[in-house]
Amino acid sequence: MSDLFIGGAWSPAATGRSFPTLNPADGTVITTCAEAGPADVDRAVGAAREAADAWAAHPEHLRARLLWRVADLIEANAEELAELESRDSGQLLGVAREVSVPGTAEHFRYFAGWCTKIQGAVLPVAFPDTLHYTRREPVGVCALITPWNFPLMIAAWKLAPALACGNTVIIKPAEQTPLSTVRLVELMSEAGFPPGVVNLLTGGPGTGRALAAHPAVDKISFTGSTEVGRSLVSAAAGGLKRLTLELGGKAPSIIAADADLDAAVAGNLTGALFHSGQVCAAYARFYVDRKRADEFTEKMAAGAAALRIGPGDDPASWLGPLVSEEHLRSVDAHVRGAVYEGADLVGGGRRVDRPGFFYEPAVFAGVTDDMAIAREEVFGPVIPVLAYDDPDELVARANALEYGLAASIWTRDLSTAHRLAARIRAGAIFINMIHVPDAATTWGGYKASGWGREMGPYAIDAYTEVKGVWTHLGPGSR
């Protein structure tokens, strides 16, 4: 049984309620977690509010040491964290070891370096004998709500910059995958954060809504679906809370006529099927020159069929399970719907006959822009191939959806690549490579894919307020 962490102490939920978290590789219960209710939300927000002023005044170099210490503890407990991440989310153990855990440590180290470098500026103003300068100050109490696909690393994307900027936090992991975040908070407590600076609430959507609506929460940072993001906007609107939202995506991948097709197939298989397609920036609609579309589709289908499907702790597995029975049914409904609309299912598209939530990657040919499989976020191992005749039509087709998180371009012509990159409305463009974000750069979406940016110096903007200070220096000033 996992408890809540509020004000520096672990405790059960006020109601005594709990919920199970499952292993998606076999559907069994791993453990239960406390389900936070309104009274727990009040306690956590109160603890964060009480600690806010002292933490904001905490010397920057000491904040940096604490964040660096967390990174050290993550590395010291790397294998345990990787196994938790794999067991709870279905993530391949190799991915957890090589991507999620090192990426988590890297984010804490990167933002530890920012603690002593957050600064304002002296700005010239029109008024004579006037000094004007700006200060960057913490937003205050931040509620951080994370998704189930990369729970550990996305927690770090939010925790590290929020704390580096002097905010206090309440983190609420997705109810499907809370365990690695619980362990991370244990390590943060061990690192020595003062009581109330870091708080943890586990629970379902009601817990997130209560945090969003709470009058003493100053900021919400949420990663998840566009639908839930819109609901959080409504919940936070009354208090005019600051919001950072990283939401859904339907990333186009453009395969130009001159692309190295074998390299494009290899890159797009990974881009589409990494973590079984449960990635917000997954390549999810594939625009291929008509002269090469059949060859691309056949090679993608053959490559997908050759990938070994199995549990995350099996070193031979390339595709792990989907996160839940509910999500598997959603993915399968999209596949069945595409067949009904007339798309040609070239390969896969079936549940694997074994315990757990495994699904064969589905490759479609003959897809058109008006089909749901080309417009809606599936968040699973589905590859719809759309042919094009005129390269000039690509930008309009790529930009036609409400999403704008990421896009991919495969071509040998860098002029083509950079012209397309400039015109596609998405927050990240990957040219001849897979979607790999980095702590030092920007991450976030256009349009319905979100508000604001995470990572790099842009995260400092997300977690600080800018204050202007004016001083009259004329006669009479002292």
Catalytic residue positions? 246, 280
Phi and psi torsions of 122, nearest 5°: -90, 125
Burial of 477 (0-12, 13-18, 19+ CB in 10 A): exposed
3-state secondary structure of 223: strand
Integer Cα distance of 411 and 264 in angstroms? 9
Integer Cα distance of 101 and 86 in angstroms? 11
CB neighbours of 241 closer than 8 A, spacing ≥ 6?
A: 212, 217, 218, 219, 220
E strands of 46-154, at which residues? 130-138, 141-145
Report H helices in 214-324. Answer: 226-237, 261-273, 290-306
> Residues 153, 104: contact at Cβ < 8 Å?
yes
Burial of 321 (0-12, 13-18, 19+ CB in 10 A): buried
In total, the chain counts a number of residues equal to 478
C-alpha neighbours within 13 Å on the C-beta side of residue 440:
2
Place of tokens 């596949």: 335
Six-digit token string for 220 = 């919400």
Cα Rg, the chain, nearest whole Å: 23
Report H helices in 311-389. Answer: 325-341, 372-375
Integer Cα distance of 166 and 118 in angstroms? 10
Nearest to 115 by CA among 463, 476, 470, 433: 463
The CA–CA distances, whole Å, from 295 to 243, 292, 350, 365 equal 44, 5, 23, 11
Integer Cα distance of 473 and 478 in angstroms? 8
Integer Cα distance of 348 and 326 in angstroms? 19
Strand partners, 21: 31
The CA–CA distances, whole Å, from 194 to 13, 436, 450, 463 equal 22, 34, 32, 19
Integer Cα distance of 31 and 404 in angstroms? 37
